[in-house]
Structure 1
Amino acid sequence: MKKNVNTIDAYMRLMFGLTGVAWGTSEMIRRPHSNTGFFVTMASAMKVAEGVTRYCPMLAMFGKDSAGVADEVEGMVDRSRQQVDRTMNKTSRGARKMMNKAKKEIDMDMIEQMYGHSQDDEDDDRPYN
């Protein structure tokens, strides 16, 4: 029997399966004439078995394995991170350009307020050497 469930998936199946077995067992004790507890316990017991053996018959029937799914998800996460980094870099460059332009405008306004005219006007009054 080839393993078709990756480690993280197996732990999740064990955790939720044991939780379901516990809940289903308590449900069978509280309501002995209801079938809900029995079905939940059986379905959860199957998940526990899948987690222990790391083999899922449904995945095998469809020719899939959760290790491949995990690799695909990891690839999607990496691509998303790269896209966010590219967007942040573009935004940072645009923000730096805007900040530099605003700083220049503020500097020019301060010079005009201090001297009553812009520095460019002063440069025009000087003779060329």
Structure 2
Amino acid sequence: MKQNIGIINSMVRITAGLSMLTFLTIRSARRKDASVHPMMIVIAAMKVAEGIVRYCPLTAAFEEMTEETDGKEEGWQQNFQKTQM
């Protein structure tokens, strides 16, 4: 597993994740009828974990999708130029 986010990005993720976890925990503890969904707590914890290990699976999937495999760039500009000729 190769690290794919920088140090600043990881610090932001840790800070945001801990802030979200704190807010959600306090909100659910104070009000019994609070609509804090457990999935929101899992997402906040995932952000903290991503910051600690400096690996984001969504970033890795996006980078893999946009990676060129044949060496040729195939963007919309090339398709646009072909249609005008």
Normalised TM-score (structure 1)? 0.45
Superposition map of 1:15-94 within 5 A: 15-36=15-36, 38-63=38-63
Letter of the structure 1 residue corresponding to residue 63 of structure 2: G
Q: For this pair of structures, how many residues does the alignment match?
A: 64
Provide closer, same or farther for how the CA distance between residues 38 and 28 of structure 1 changes in structure 2, counting only shifts above 3 A. farther
Structure 1: gaps spanning 5 or more residues: 65-129
CA RMSD of aligned residues (A): 1.7
Residue equivalent to 1:125: none
Paired with 1:2 and 1:35, the residues of 2 have a C-alpha distance of: 37
Q: Which has the higher helix share?
A: 1
Q: Secondary structure of the residue that 2:63 maps to in structure 1?
A: coil
5+ residue gaps, structure 2, are 65-85
The 1-side partners of 2:54 and 2:46 are apart by: 11
Structure ID, larger Rg: 1
C-alpha contact (below 8 Å) 1:28/1:37 kept by paired residues: no
Q: Which has the higher contact order (CA 8 A, sep 6+)?
A: 2
Query: Residues of 1 paired with 2:25 and 2:47: CA distance?
Result: 15
Alpha-carbon shift at residue 37 of structure 1 (Å): 5.3
TM-score of the aligned structures, taking structure 2 as reference length: 0.66
- Residues 7-30 of structure 1: CA distance to partner in whole angstroms, max 9, x if unpaired? 000000000100001011111112
